[in-house]
Chains A and B, each alone.
Chain A
Amino acid sequence: MAKRKLARAKKSAEKSQASEQSNGCRKSDRLTQTIGAFPQHIDDANHEDDDEDGYIDEEAEEVQEGDSDDQSDLEAYDDEESAGDEFDGLLDGAISDSEDEDEASDEMSEYDEGSDAGDAVPNFGEDDESQEQEDLAEVIRNSLSDDDDEDEYLSKYSATSEAESQSSLSSDLDDSRIAYYTTGADGKARPIYHDIDPHYSSDDSDIEDTNTIGNVPLSAYDEYPHIGYDINGKRIMRPAAGTALDSLLDSIEVPEGWTGLIDKESGADLNLTKEELELVKKIQLGENAGDVNPYENTIEWFSSKTEVMPLSAAPEPKRRFVPSKHEAKRIMKIVKAIRDGRIVPNKPKIRPEDELPIYDLWADDLQEQQPHVMHIPAPKMAKPTNDESYNPPEEYLPSEEEVRTWNRTDPADREKNYLPQKFSSLRTVPRYEDFVRERFERSLDLYLAPRVRKNKLSIDPDSLLPKLPSPQDLRPFPIKCSVTYRGHKGRVRAVSVDPSGLWLATGGDDATVRIWEVLTGREIWKASVGDDNEAVQSVEWSPARDSGILAASAGEKIFLCLPPIFDDETEVKGQELLAAGWGYAAQHGPAEQVNKEQPCKWTKPSTNLTSQGVDVVIMCRQTVKQIAWHRRGDYFTSVSPEGANMAVLVHQVSKHNTQSPFRKSKGIVQRAQFHPFKPILYVATQRYVRIYDLSTQSLTKALQPGARWLSSFDIHPRGDNVITGSYDKRVTWHDLDLSTKPYRTLRYHSRAVRDVRFHSRLSLFCSASDDGYINVFHGTVYDDLLRNPLLVPLKVLKGHTVVQSLGVLKVEWHPKEAWLFSAGADGTAKLWTS
């Protein structure tokens, strides 16, 4: 309400303003300006305003105060009335509404000060309520007279003013709006209207009317003296822009509220008062910019005070005067409980532990049950041993060295957590320092250590040993060395017994083939066959009993000899056999030669060799490592590992013919052997033993012993079992009916296995190794197909010495007896007999 009044007061003040730029200014400031310009009028207006409303309110005072405040300023700027004052007004427009009130209050206080010194403005004396108590009547009188004053003033002003005067509020007609006519630019009369005086109802003084030039950019008026038009269509003159000197002066003596900014809308300098700056600051900080008192007094709407006019006039309820039935019920319950003894008041305090009754927990006498499978009882503490005694036998006491090692080891790694000590008597025994800790650790173990059920084997370790028949029951087998054949220089690499079992042929690194009498160990015959001292790799008697042919290989040559140890008949037959081939070669030779180049050449030996008993020499391309006869004694195979596809050759003695059965190489061939009675050839490469059917010329089976490098193999006399020996210390037994994988893999040699051998009649076999031992086994193969072969280790023959990490190189069974011949790297061959 009060504000409204003020606004109206300002309005009226505005009316009195002569200049065109009446708008865009803030009320109070505008007021002051106008006052400055027309002090007397304003005074009048104030009078009018106050009196008109019949209110003497603070705003009115404020206005007055503003007057007094600005008095000096006004005088200072009197000269440049229009310019400077306009600026002020524009600047003010930049500040929001809220500031008004702020300012108002500020000004109020300022006024109070001013009023103290207020005698400077004597005019105010009459009006100021605070200064002089005026009669209400007087005020009314004044207000009555004001109406007239206003009219008077308006008419006067409009007449005198150069610009158009404002039309009166009371005029209703359109014509009446025209104040007067002037000649326009076209020379015609142009009506000049009264200023629009809005009705009170259309009062838009709340709406800021700062910018009346619209959104037209100022640049559009660059050429004109004005910057736009106000609501009445009058020009708004450009505020005077200071000259360079002015601006310099401005910058030097900074006027109050100077900011250095230019108002965007009015183009004038933007000055801010102290209060305004404060306000800006507050807004920047996000504080409450309004005039809000955060600490207002509370109003106690509901208080202990009995109000004359209470909020509720209901009468006091009955329940306030009657004892509660519910409470009575509850109390009775308690009383009853006390009477019954359920509640004992002031019961004497007992320790809670004591009041817990102890009773027979196991009164039900359950039968003991098997604990749950998943329950693992905690292991009991280990029982103390002799060395924990306070007085142990002296041998338990640790030596100094033991004490030192005990001290050095980490407590967690110690086998026992104490050192045995001896005390002479019980009274000298001190406390045990770690007692609490040990019990604590036991507690930790009990609840923290993961438990696992460990089934402790309480068996006799010997029960793990397989049940085997005693070797004593499997006799005969070789157990001792009865004859040693000495004579070779260097290793004995090959050994062979003639079918009659009387003569032993050996070959060695000294490039000789020797024949010994088996029983006596006497050397009977000797032939140095190897040229260039090439070692004799293999020596094999022909299985044909009546021929007496001995095949030996040294280097790339195979020698067929007829040692002069048999009777004439045998010798003649042998010579015939060997000689027949020459004839055959003569007859069929050319045809063969046409076919292909021969893998071998059958030649007649030199005279030197002939004199030694060699009848035929077969020249191969690579070093021949092994020879194996066919059971009839007509064919034999030779193996030369480097020979690629020519590694295995089959030689026919009767025709002096050599065939190479394989077109492609299958790897490095180690051994080759004929089946004991079938036309089958077994060929061992590094990893496999391949079985070829010679009649169909096809591969029937490939055994996989699982060894890295086979050294040897042998075929059971029945032909359906094979043993292999390998350089990686393994001996395997293959049952050909079962699988290509071994039936048993045995590992007992500590060095590479050099040779394995079946006995041709007895169920014996043996393996020889570089560790110098020969292991003799019993191996029964049953006719019943469901029964697996029975293998029984019988004896370890120890006798050969290991020379340059080579032990026993070759073994051979006696054809009839359970005797074993072995050739060792120590330059001897041995006969092992039962």
Chain B
Amino acid sequence: MRIKKKHQVGAAKNFITRTQAVKKLQLSLADFRRICIFKGIFPRAPRSAKKANKGSTAPTTFYYTKDIQYLLHEPVIQRFRDHKVFARKLSRALGRGDVSDAKRLDENRPRYRLDKIVKERYPTLLDAIRDLDDALSMLFLFAAMPASDKVTARVTEDAENLCNQWMAYVARERLLRKVFVSIKGVYYEADIKGQEVAWLVPFKFPQNVPTDIDFRIMLTFLEFYTTLLQFVLYRLYTDAGIVYPPKIDSARAHGVGGIAAYVMESKREKESLVEISNAEKAITESEMVSRAQTISTVLNKVNDDPGTEGKAEPVAHDKDDEEDEQVTETLDKFTALPNTDTVTSDIIPQPEDTSPEEVIKTLLSPFTFYIGREVPLDIVELTILALGGTVISESVLDGYLHVDTDAVPEAAEVDFDARQREVDVLLRKVTHQVCDRPALASKVPGRIYVQPQWIFDSLNRGRLMPVDEYAIGATLPPHLSPWGDGAGYDPEEVEMADEVKEVEEEEEEEEEEEEEEEVEDQEDEVVEEAVQVDEDEEDEALEHQRELEAEAKGIMYSSTAASKKRKRGDEKPKKSAEQKQAEEEKELRKIMMTNKQKKLYNQMQYGIQKKETRKEALKTKRRKLEKNKQHKKRVL
């Protein structure tokens, strides 16, 4: 038999250190990092680092050897090498002051595409959708980033475009399932083709950019995520029957409702003067486009083309009218249902409305929201649109009605009275006003005033929350995470329990009173009890007989006894004794566990215990707080 050499098979062969990998690929470390990010190659933790490292225990990063081998013939790596050569040539040309040469070189710089890599990493669409969380969060972050020397304006612009396209899709298809406003930002969850996709959007403030962050890494990720999202969006749009990428198609826009309508709409969309019809079938591709457009581009359009804007108005008005009709239609539909219900009968099950998803999709469809300018529009707008509601934004209306004629001289020609009339018509349909102020000077009768949290909570609960708790200036009920506590504590459960307890306490008090009365009666009952005792004895004899029979049949005593106890177990103290016994038995059974099982069991118990203690701590804290509150109330 041949002597087996050490470190020739197994972990030593399966894993490769990073240095080895870099050498094998003949790349710089930075290029290696990039290709790893693109290809999704990650270090592994081998079961035994010593075996993988050929006997050395020095801390090392290991990669799976086959991953690296797979990289060897990656076309993108060749592009990296080309780029190295290109960079050298360019720097030489620039160093020589050879501008034209440098320009030519720059025009023909080696480029690479990541589509093949996307396809490799995600063979099916569902795979890709499953991995969208990080991509979306990163894109939304860059969309909110200030442009700097590290992050160019183009990067942020592209990211913003993609984000808008994504939101437009989610809103149009009404896929939003959860919203959670946290201190970090807003978490959304959408249901895309059966996959839960969650992403985090920062609040619309300039981001704090730490200086010690290596943006090259982030930008490499962003590059991949951009490609990924482009292809995913293409597929999703096509599946939904929309053209992707949504482009400004003037001819089509004319066909649908005139270019002005398009501009109006986009303006509304972007500046959120919008009212997207809740009849989604009517949403045109141009509208989708408009959603995707950034504010700046649209505004530019508007400013560049005052004539068209002027012309646009009547057309836009027409469009609005159309929308109005649609709205009324849908409204009719929704109002009609309860009418018929009341008229005909109480229970007419609506098959579409039964599933909670369907309920969510049309949760706000009968309503038109007027959003105050102090409310963060991006959050509220997406949520309302995705729930089927209609949005009119105060800030956009302001921009529409009050144009500073000094700044925009063309605005002088605009007929503001006509606009005002148009807006008045629009405002007549408003059912809810979303408002985030301590108080409002004047209220429009017929409108329901709510704080923005009402929308989020309604979505998370899947039903319309009572409006009074969310009224202007009211102390809001806590905003709970739709994903729960994560450690088993449910604040609402506690609330319920407290209520139940209170009720019980009241009942007990009543019972005590009754008992007192009973004591008087008991003396009379003694005689009766004596009779009962005889009966009990008879029962016991019978039971004994039954036990014997059961034993003869081979039924375990415990089972019969347990069943008996269950029959008997009306009294509370006995129940606790049973529990005690069960616990004791458990303890006894633990004796017979093997060491391994014991360890595992104890670990699990530790985790459970930790959760329990946290839960208890929160509960006690809650009780304390409530007591304090009650105390305060009493004092008052």
Contacts and interface: CB of A to CB of B under 8 A. Distances in A.
B593 A360 contact: no
Contact of A426 (B209, B376, B586): B376
A185 interface: no
Nearest to A448: B43
Given A380-B133, A473-B558, A435 B604 contact: no
B585 interface: yes
B210 A432 contact: no
B625 interface: yes
B51 to A, nearest CB: 15
Contacts of B185: 432, 435
B561 A426 contact: no
B44 A436 contact: no
Nearest to B475: A424
A462 interface: yes
B113 interface: yes
A461 B244 contact: no
Interface stretch (A191-199, A391-399, A702-710): A391-399
Contact of B184 (A386, A388, A748): A388
A367 B145 CA distance: 39
B600 A439 contact: no
Contact of A440 (B33, B180, B213, B584): B213
Contacts of B558: 470, 472-473
Interface stretch (A335-343, A583-591, A791-799): A791-799
A395 B590 contact: no
Contact of B234 (A358, A392, A449, A746): A358
Interface stretch (B291-299, B343-351, B406-414, B481-489): B481-489
B118 interface: yes
B588 interface: yes
B124 A471 contact: no
Contacts of A435: 141, 184-185, 202, 207-208
A465 B451 contact: no
A443 B216 CA distance: 11
A386 B481 CA distance: 5
A385 B621 CA distance: 18
A439 B43 contact: no
Interface string B125-136: 111100101100
A749 to B, nearest CB: 10
B397 interface: no
A675 B244 CA distance: 92
A232 interface: no
Given A426-B436, A426-B451, A443-B218, A472 B134 contact: no
B182 A389 contact: yes
Contact of B207 (A430, A436, A447): A436
Contacts of B115: 356, 361
A598 B517 CA distance: 86
B585 to A, nearest CB: 6
A358 B245 CA distance: 8
A359 B234 contact: yes
Interface residues of A, number: 86
Interface in B599-636: 600-601, 604-605, 608, 618-619, 621-622, 625
Contact of B203 (A360, A425, A431): A431
A418 B597 CA distance: 37
A432 to B, nearest CB: 4
Nearest to B456: A426
A440 B230 CA distance: 22
A352 interface: yes
A452 interface: yes
Contacts of B209: 436
B556 A470 contact: yes
Interface string B223-262: 0000000110011001000001100000000000000000
Contacts of B491: 386, 393, 395
Summarize A's interface: helix, strand, loop or mixed: loop
Contact of B481 (A353, A366, A389, A471): A389
B137 to A, nearest CB: 7
A438 B41 CA distance: 21
Q: Which of A381, A457, A796 has the most CB of B within 10 A?
A: A381
Interface in B577-605: 584-593, 597, 600-601, 604-605
B210 A391 contact: no
Contact of B622 (A369, A377, A395, A466): A395
A393 B203 contact: no
Contact of B592 (A395, A425, A746): A746
Contacts of B217: 440, 443-444, 447
Contact of B137 (A359, A390, A439): A439
A834 to B, nearest CB: 14
Contacts of B187: 383-384
A426 B244 CA distance: 35
Interface string B190-226: 0000000010101101111110011001100100000
Contacts, number: 263
A418 B183 CA distance: 9
A384 B483 contact: yes
B369 interface: no
B124 A360 contact: no
Interface string A453-497: 000010001101110111111010000000000000000000000
B625 A394 contact: yes
Interface residues of B, number: 105
A448 B64 CA distance: 13
A384 B185 CA distance: 10
B452 to A, nearest CB: 5
A792 B589 CA distance: 8
B274 to A, nearest CB: 20
Contacts of A396: 618
A432 B184 contact: yes
Given A358-B244, A436-B210, A464-B601, A426 B238 contact: no
B97 to A, nearest CB: 23
B250 to A, nearest CB: 18
Nearest to B181: A390
Given A361-B119, A748-B591, A775-B591, A436 B180 contact: no
Contact of A452 (B45, B127, B141, B604): B45
A450 B123 contact: no
B24 interface: no
B44 A388 contact: no
A368 interface: yes
Contacts of B66: 374
A580 interface: no
A376 interface: yes
Nearest to B206: A431
A522 to B, nearest CB: 32
B183 A390 contact: yes
A352 B181 contact: no
Contacts of A352: 111
B110 to A, nearest CB: 11
Interface in A331-359: 352-353, 356, 358-359
Q: Which of B42, B158, B187 has the most CB of A within 10 A?
A: B42
A437 interface: yes
Contacts of B141: 435-436, 439
A430 B244 CA distance: 36
A480 to B, nearest CB: 13
Contact of A794 (B478, B484, B588): B588
Contacts of B238: 360
A429 interface: yes
A795 B588 CA distance: 7
A362 interface: yes
Given A439-B141, A447-B36, A793-B589, 8 more contacts: A381-B137, A425-B436, A431-B203, A440-B213, A448-B42, A450-B61, A465-B586, A796-B584
The 10 closest A-B pairs by CB, nearest first: A383-B483, A431-B205, A793-B588, A452-B45, A450-B45, A470-B558, A472-B558, A385-B486, A388-B182, A393-B478
8 contacts: A362-B119, A374-B66, A386-B478, A389-B479, A432-B183, A432-B184, A457-B600, A465-B601
